Amino acid sequence: QIIEKIDFKVDYKNKTLAVAITQCESTNQVLMVAYMDSNAFKKTLTTGFMHYYSRSRDKIWLKGETSGNIQKVSEIFVDCDGDAILFKVDQLKEDEKGDEYTFESPSTNQIKSIRLKSGGVACHTKKRSCFFKKITEKGEIEEK
């Protein structure tokens, strides 16, 4: 089983976590980096939607549950050490003309139905990617 091949070894307050790198399947743009525990990984595998572990809230969260910017998994890769996971996703946004998806909310354990189409954002700042700050040759940070 795949879950046994992942080394959840980033120790955080007695939680064992793995690094989760999320990349756009069509452009290869890195959208975000977060953490997962084994339960978030299992939820991602069983639902096909990205679930992460929030260190600040100490719980699993479904990406886009509140914002409507959901990540649908298309491919999964594990690094050579087995302690980081790369997810290629279709970044989706809520849209009444989109395709209908149904999933269980981790926060309420209730089934939700939502219409989604491509083109959502990954970052809480409403940017497509969390990596929009570039370090220049002078060592300054500029927003792209």
Work out the average pLDDT over 78-89.
Answer: 89
pTM, two decimal places: 0.82
- b/e sequence 25-64, b meaning 16+ C-beta within 10 Å: beeeeebbebbbbbebbebbeebebbbbbeeeeeebbbbb
pLDDT in tens, 3-16: 666 666 655 566 78
Q: What is the pLDDT of residue 3?
A: 60
> In the predicted model, what is the mean pLDDT of the chain?
87
Please state which CATH class domain 2-91+120-143 belongs to: alpha beta
Portion of the chain with pLDDT greater than 70, in percent: 90
